[in-house]
């Protein structure tokens, strides 16, 4: 599960990126995206789509099918991990879905601070046990120009690739 605020930019980008990496690596990850404060059913922004298309490895995907979705308990329960864009999103999961707090981590914080060994769920729980830090936030590109969206997509692409390496063969739903 990938999570951002409106589920029209960061979580969408990351969802497509993780799906692409799973397919390329022969993994069977199932990826859903959601937001913490969503206008249900909104399409991804055109800038989000253009930022995805600017990454060569993602060219060829059809990005128009996405519709925003508010994170619900059924989503949090389903996920092996909730990869958040910001510390505030981790805190949102902790406040609204306390039973699944052990699965909510900032993507960037996970990439930087997760143990390198052990089962996936143990590594996720180790990072979920930390205080989520805004130092690891992936900035929301909303309101920015295309260059801001492109920079966000490049940052997420780098983090997604590292995440895929860290969970090689032991990945998430």
Q: Per residue in 74-131, pLDDT tens?
A: 999 999 999 999 999 999 999 999 999 999 999 999 999 999 999 999 999 999 999 9
Q: Is residue 173 part of a domain?
A: no
Q: What are phi and psi of 37, to 5 degrees?
A: -145, 85
Which residue, 39, 16, 148, 134, is CA-closest to 85?
Answer: 134
Number of domains in the chain: 1
Q: Is residue 172 part of a domain?
A: no
Please say if the pLDDT value at position 152 is more than 80. Answer: yes
Neighbours of 28 (CB within 10 A): 8
Please indicate whether residue 86 or residue 22 has the higher confidence score (pLDDT).
Answer: 86
Q: Is residue 34 part of a domain?
A: yes
Q: What are phi and psi of 84, to 5 degrees?
A: -95, 155
Q: Is residue 112 part of a domain?
A: yes
> Which residue range is the domain that position 132 belongs to?
2-166
Question: At CA 173, angle to CA 65 and CA 89, rounded to 5?
Answer: 80
Q: Is residue 134 part of a domain?
A: yes
Please say if the pLDDT value at position 13 is more than 80. Answer: yes
Q: Is residue 171 part of a domain?
A: no
Which residue, 170, 167, 163, 169, is CA-closest to 14?
Answer: 163
CATH number for the domain spanning 158: value is 3.40.50.2300
Please say if the pLDDT value at position 61 is more than 90. Answer: no
Q: What does 124-142 look like in DSSP terms, one character per residue?
A: HHHHHTSPP-GGG-----T
pTM summary value:
0.93
């Amino acid at each position: 599960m990938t999570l951002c605020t409106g589920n029209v930019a960061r979580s969408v980008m990351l969802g497509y990126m993780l799906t692409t990496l799973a397919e390329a690596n022969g993994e069977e990850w199932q990826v859903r995206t959601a937001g913490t404060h969503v206008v249900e059913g909104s399409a991804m922004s055109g800038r989000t789509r253009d930022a995805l298309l600017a990454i060569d490895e993602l060219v060829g995907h059809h990005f128009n099918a996405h519709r925003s979705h508010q994170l619900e308990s059924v989503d949090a329960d389903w996920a092996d991990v909730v990869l958040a864009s910001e510390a505030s999103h981790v805190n949102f999961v902790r406040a609204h879905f306390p039973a699944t707090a052990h699965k909510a981590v900032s993507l960037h914080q996970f990439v930087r601070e997760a143990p390198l060994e052990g089962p996936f769920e143990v590594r996720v729980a180790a990072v979920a046990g930390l205080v989520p830090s805004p130092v690891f936030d992936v900035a929301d590109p909303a309101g920015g120009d295309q260059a801001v969206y492109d920079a966000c997509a490049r940052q997420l692409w780098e983090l997604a690739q590292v995440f895929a390496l860290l969970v090689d063969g032991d990945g998430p739903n």
